[in-house]
């Protein structure tokens, strides 16, 4: 049902009363005010409602709100041109985001969202007050209330729990199963109340077990402990046992004597030191540190942290256990397997590291992350190949890094970065960080500065992670104005390398003269497929013979409007689709000090629909409508039909003469200075024109083209960075000017039916490293403050490797994100497995580091596309063999098979020199790897 936006239509409400609907702009205003009020009063327990994006986008178009501007949208999407004629949306329809049908075993009647949905892409979250207004205006649904909760142990933040914790309740009396849902912040008391109400039981007679993998793990005692703190996972089993006259009942109905079962306690801490038992310290006794026989079932070895572990060494044939997927946790499993197979970390965490745990570090996690990681590593390195469920570790991760909580897919490299930094802070040997005042390093040798800064860094940061994983690079910044050089030496934990692309694409762009000196002309250029707008600008500049005092302003034209300006030189070209229309306006470089005039066109009829391509020019301080009128005339002059050129017209290629000077005088007298663009002799005011009448019918309009205010010669023009006018084409304009030049812009690329797809060539790891280290200008959003100029400058930046760590991690930047697009590169990167020689890249002249040759020992892989991809890992064990760790499944793999286009994060270890001082045959930096 659609209701036209007209005050003449009545809206029949369900209660029979008649009510006029709000106008679109009124609805938008109300929703914005209610949203802002909700944002200013965030607290736990606030209700939010998911609404189907499909319906919500229709409402946005109807009310004129820019899509992607909604504050609760997680991912900004493309703005669409406002369509004032858009019909009023029908009733709210959320059926496309909820699970259809329903399961008879569901204990909750409320509909559930489909698990794979993403906030901002598939649904939008609105506050309770906004939902109430929407249902008042549109009806429909169903309503899907979700509560706001607080997450994060260190830095509290509010999130909406869109997917509550779903548990499968198994009744031991008849083995029946039913799903129940609670917030992960609900307590075990809440769980007992819900289960007993569902089963009609007295809570005193109920006993609920953590039944993960259908094995009794821990009895869940009714308490204030939350379900999250109990490490309960999405869709896992819990077991209900019912007591009868002091006895329990098993699945066969036989009475069971009630035996109090307590979680087994380890007499040896995971850090290798004494543990606490009933509050008393117990010294380490290796004879009693052995596996409990109470968990000898198939999955008895599956929960990390529930029982004691036998001390393992890398010679005990450990390290072959997989990690269970707890619900889209393959990203975590992949990073963890790479880390737990890092030889120096294995040696460290299998020893006693209790004394190095820093529980007072405000930047750390009170040692809890290091303890959880060490416990998990020991579990994975114990003899045997039973898969481990990292529930306790995931619980710690959710507490200290809530961005990785929930059950959505995340980035393995982002998790790796958090783990390395978190482990460092938890194991930082520095208890009191000294204050170190920076010095002026001008004129001092680089080696002296680098060593001094490294000592300062180690004085504040000293851990096993720094010892083995941190290196140092040299950063050189040069001011483009005063040539001031700034050199710093910064530590790094890993290197994020771009993937240079060799694939190209053909792009057609129509170039417009911003001074009206010529007709628009399409140019087709070839650019790198994975390039940016800067590359397109450079190619176009060469093609159209751009002058030194000009620059090109790129824009996308959609529905005869400028949809967006591509003024960010770092904007990826991948955001420009082949079927889009891109234009470029030639403007003077000093345009930053002038007013940009945007001229749009529309038919002079009842509908006044937009048509033709907008024109862009610049003016110096326009004060009145006369200046706007003259600028429009100048921009249309190349379109003037020959039959209407006056005999006195001088060709543009000649001198402007006295006519140009006379026009300049008139502009000055009208209060408008002449812009840098030249004016032709055709721009002569017709005789007999009224003193207030313009040559064209012009209106000043807003950014969206909604409101229009007609202007005359003496209309005051408010000073602004950009002025937008609407030109109404009458029969006179069509008679004087040939508008065909502004019609039918060519597509960016018109591919033929038989066009061949360009295949991405393989690239080497060295070419990625070269791209990372090359000199390039900083982006406009990353300007550098020059201490000499006292201004922010777009300086050039050059990186050089200075000090390399024993463990060198390369992150291949396969994913690119922008406001309009997410993209993944499946380019095959050819990387060395043996003898990766980086000597030529290290600029330090000191030989204190020893070898610069590395061996590969682990790879984090990503398969598939964005959102629906999968992670796994390749790791090399001490026997020299490679294994594929795919969640729970572990299998051997040939070394020749580990090079794939899925390689995402590469882990290398420094090769120690042999007795003769050699480290093996180094690889050629520019030969095939």
Question: What are the residue numbers of the active site?
Answer: 330, 870
Q: Are 123 and 117 in contact (CB under 8 A)?
A: yes
Residue 833's nearest CA partner among 852, 855, 810 is 855
SS3 335: helix
Q: Which two tokens stand for residue 284?
A: 């380490």
Helix axes 330-340, 368-380, angle to 10 degrees: 80
Rounded to the nearest angstrom, the gap between the alpha carbon of residue 611 and the centroid of all alpha carbons in its chain is 36
Positions of E strands within 309-373: none
C-alpha distances in Å from residue 416, one per residue of 174, 304, 771: 45, 20, 23
SS3 668: helix
C-alpha distances in Å from residue 202, one per residue of 174, 175, 206, 805: 18, 19, 7, 61
C-alpha to C-alpha distance for 2 and 166, rounded to whole angstroms:
38
Q: Are 390 and 323 in contact (CB under 8 A)?
A: yes
For residue 776, give every residue at least 6 positions away whose Cβ sits within 8 Å of its Cβ, in sequence order, or none: 796, 797
SS3 868: coil
Q: Are 160 and 48 in contact (CB under 8 A)?
A: yes
244: left (phi over 0), alpha (psi -120 to 50) or beta: beta
Chain position carrying tokens 């390749």: 874
840 C-beta neighbours (distance < 10 Å), count: 13
C-alpha to C-alpha distance for 501 and 257, rounded to whole angstroms:
69
Burial of 56 (0-12, 13-18, 19+ CB in 10 A): buried
C-alpha to C-alpha distance for 403 and 410, rounded to whole angstroms:
9
Angle 891-892-893 (CA atoms, 0-180°, nearest 5)?
Answer: 120
676 C-beta neighbours (distance < 10 Å), count: 18
Q: Which two tokens stand for residue 241?
A: 């046992």
Q: How many residues does the chain have?
A: 929
Strand partners, 657: none
Q: Is the dihedral of CA 444, 450, 451, 457 positive or negative?
A: positive
Q: Are 517 and 638 in contact (CB under 8 A)?
A: yes
Q: Are 194 and 180 in contact (CB under 8 A)?
A: yes
Q: Torsions phi, psi of 133, nearest 5?
A: -65, -45
Residue 372's nearest CA partner among 397, 403, 398 is 397
- In order, the DSSP letters of 413-441 are HHHHHHHHHHHHHHT-S-SSPPP------
C-alpha to C-alpha distance for 565 and 556, rounded to whole angstroms:
6
Residue 811's nearest CA partner among 829, 794, 834 is 829
Strand partners, 923: none
Q: Are 297 and 824 in contact (CB under 8 A)?
A: no
C-alpha to C-alpha distance for 179 and 191, rounded to whole angstroms:
12
C-alpha to C-alpha distance for 797 and 778, rounded to whole angstroms:
7
Rounded to the nearest angstrom, the gap between the alpha carbon of residue 312 and the centroid of all alpha carbons in its chain is 40
C-alpha to C-alpha distance for 367 and 358, rounded to whole angstroms:
6
C-alpha distances in Å from residue 453, one per residue of 228, 241, 475, 850: 43, 63, 13, 20
């Amino acid at each position: 049902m659609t209701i036209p936006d007209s005050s003449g239509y009545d809206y029949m409400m369900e209660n029979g009363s008649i009510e006029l609907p709000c106008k679109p702009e009124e609805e938008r205003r109300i929703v914005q005010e209610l949203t802002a009020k909700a944002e200013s009063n965030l607290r736990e327990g606030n209700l939010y409602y998911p609404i189907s994006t499909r319906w919500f986008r229709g409402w946005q178009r109807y009310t004129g709100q820019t899509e992607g501007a909604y504050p609760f949208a997680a991912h900004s999407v493309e703005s669409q041109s406002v369509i004032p004629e858009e019909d009023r949306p029908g009733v709210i329809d959320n059926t496309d985001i909820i699970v259809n049908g329903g399961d008879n075993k569901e204990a909750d009647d409320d509909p559930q969202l489909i698990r794979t949905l993403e906030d901002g892409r598939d649904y939008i979250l609105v506050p309770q007050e906004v939902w109430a207004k929407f249902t008042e205006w549109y009806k429909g649904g169903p309503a899907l209330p979700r509560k706001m909760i607080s997450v994060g142990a260190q830095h509290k933040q509010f999130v909406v729990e869109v997917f509550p914790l779903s548990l499968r309740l198994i009744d031991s009396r008849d083995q029946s199963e039913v799903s129940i849902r609670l917030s992960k912040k609900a307590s075990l008391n809440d769980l007992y109340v819900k289960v007993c109400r569902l089963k009609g039981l007295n809570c005193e007679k109920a006993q609920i077990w953590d039944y993960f993998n259908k094995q009794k793990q821990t009895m869940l005692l009714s308490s204030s402990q939350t379900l999250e703190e109990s490490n309960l996972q999405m869709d896992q089993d819990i077991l209900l046992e019912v007591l009868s006259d002091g006895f329990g009942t098993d699945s066969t109905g036989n009475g069971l004597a009630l035996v109090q079962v307590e979680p087994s306690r380890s007499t040896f801490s995971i850090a290798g030191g004494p543990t606490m038992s009933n509050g008393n310290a117990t010294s380490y006794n290796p004879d009693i540190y052995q596996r409990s026989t109470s968990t000898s079932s198939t999955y008895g070895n599956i929960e990390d942290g529930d029982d004691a572990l036998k001390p393992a060494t890398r010679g005990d044939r450990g390290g072959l256990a997989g990690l269970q997927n707890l619900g889209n946790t393959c990203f975590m499993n992949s990073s963890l397997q790479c880390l737990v197979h890092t030889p120096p970390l294995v040696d460290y965490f299998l020893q006693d590291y209790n004394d190095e745990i820093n529980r007072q570090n405000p930047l750390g996690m009170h040692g809890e992350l290091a303890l959880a990681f060490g416990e998990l590593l020991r579990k994975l390195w114990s003899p045997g190949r039973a898969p481990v469920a990292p529930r306790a570790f995931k619980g710690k991760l959710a507490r200290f890094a809530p961005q990785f909580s929930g059950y959505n897919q995340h980035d393995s490299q982002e998790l790796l970065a958090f783990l390395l930094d978190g482990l460092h802070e938890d194991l930082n040997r520095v208890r009191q960080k000294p204050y170190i005042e920076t010095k002026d390093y001008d004129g001092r040798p680089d080696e002296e500065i680098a060593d001094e800064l490294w000592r300062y860094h180690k004085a504040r940061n000293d851990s096993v992670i720094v010892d083995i994983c941190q290196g140092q690079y040299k950063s050189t910044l040069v001011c483009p104005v005063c040539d001031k050089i700034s050199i710093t030496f910064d530590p790094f934990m890993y290197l994020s390398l771009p993937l240079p692309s060799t694939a190209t694409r053909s792009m057609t762009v129509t170039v417009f003269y911003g001074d009206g000196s010529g007709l628009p002309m399409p140019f087709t250029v070839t650019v790198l497929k994975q390039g940016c707008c800067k590359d397109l600008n450079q190619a176009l500049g060469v093609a159209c013979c751009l002058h030194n005092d000009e620059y090109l302003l790129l824009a996308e034209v959609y529905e005869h409007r400028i949809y967006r300006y591509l003024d960010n030189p770092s904007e990826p070209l991948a955001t420009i689709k082949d079927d889009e229309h891109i234009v470029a306006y030639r403007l003077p470089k000093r345009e930053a000090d002038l007013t940009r005039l945007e001229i749009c066109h529309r038919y002079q009829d009842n509908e006044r629909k937009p048509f033709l391509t907008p024109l862009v020019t610049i003016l110096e301080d326009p004060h009145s409508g006369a200046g706007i009128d003259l600028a429009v005339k100048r921009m249309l002059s190349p379109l003037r039909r020959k039959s209407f050129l006056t005999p006195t017209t001088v060709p543009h290629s000649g001198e402007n003469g006295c006519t140009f000077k006379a026009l300049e005088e008139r502009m000055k007298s009208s209060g408008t200075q002449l812009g840098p663009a030249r004016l032709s002799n055709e721009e002569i005011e017709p005789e007999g024109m009224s003193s207030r009448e313009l040559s064209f019918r012009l209106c000043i309009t807003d950014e969206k083209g909604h409101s229009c205010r007609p202007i005359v010669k003496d209309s005051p023009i408010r000073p602004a960075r950009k002025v937008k006018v609407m030109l109404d084409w009458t029969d006179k304009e069509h008679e004087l000017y040939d508008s065909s030049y502004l019609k039918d812009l060519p597509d960016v690329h018109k591919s033929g039916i038989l066009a061949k797809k360009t295949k991405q060539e393989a690239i080497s790891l060295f070419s990625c490293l070269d791209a990372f280290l090359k000199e390039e200008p900083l982006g406009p959003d990353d300007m550098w403050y020059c201490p000499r100029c006292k201004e922010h400058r777009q300086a050039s930046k050059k990186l050089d490797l200075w000090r390399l760590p024993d463990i060198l991690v390369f992150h291949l930047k396969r994913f690119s994100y922008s406001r309009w697009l997410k993209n993944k590169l499946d380019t095959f990167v050819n990387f060395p497995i043996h003898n990766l020689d980086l000597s030529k890249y290290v600029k330090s002249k000191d030989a204190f580091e020893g070898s610069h040759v590395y061996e590969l020992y682990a790879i984090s892989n990503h398969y598939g596309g964005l959102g629906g991809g999968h992670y796994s890992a390749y790791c090399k064990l001490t026997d020299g063999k490679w294994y594929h760790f795919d969640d729970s499944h572990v299998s051997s793999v040939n070394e020749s098979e580990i090079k794939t286009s899925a390689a995402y994060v590469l882990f290398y270890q420094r090769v120690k020199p042999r007795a003769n001082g050699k480290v093996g045959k180094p690889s050629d930096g520019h030969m095939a790897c």
